[in-house]
Amino acid sequence: MTSEFQPPRDSILGELYFHTIAQSFLMILLGVGLLLFSVIVNENLRDDVYFTPGEWTDDKGIQWRRTNGGLLYWWDGSEWIKLQSTA
């Protein structure tokens, strides 16, 4: 005789026990999957939100460049010119 509880498999109690364990396992897997999915989605959104291009061309065809320090330059055709602050 073993000390572990093992409900009879052919009884209603055994069926209930089996389905409870199976559903619990399924819910745990579903929870882990959703957690991983949300981490991946949030990481992708974070990359999109904080990404700003270093160089771009506006509607008038002027090329612009922003440095890591936040300075803004425009291309005059031969060199990058620092935009003078109007403030």
Task: Give the mean model confidence (pLDDT) for residues 45-70.
Answer: 78
Nearest CA among 64, 60, 84, 66 for reference residue 74: 64
pLDDT averaged over every residue in the chain: 83
Mean pLDDT of 12-30: 92
- Domain extents for the chain? 1-51, 53-87
- What pLDDT sits at residue 45? 67
Q: What pLDDT digit, counting tens, does each position of 6-19 carry?
A: 666 678 888 888 89
pLDDT at residue 76, as a whole number: 93
Q: What CA dihedral angle connects 10, 11, 17 and 19, to 10 degrees?
A: 70
Mean pLDDT of the region 26-44: 90
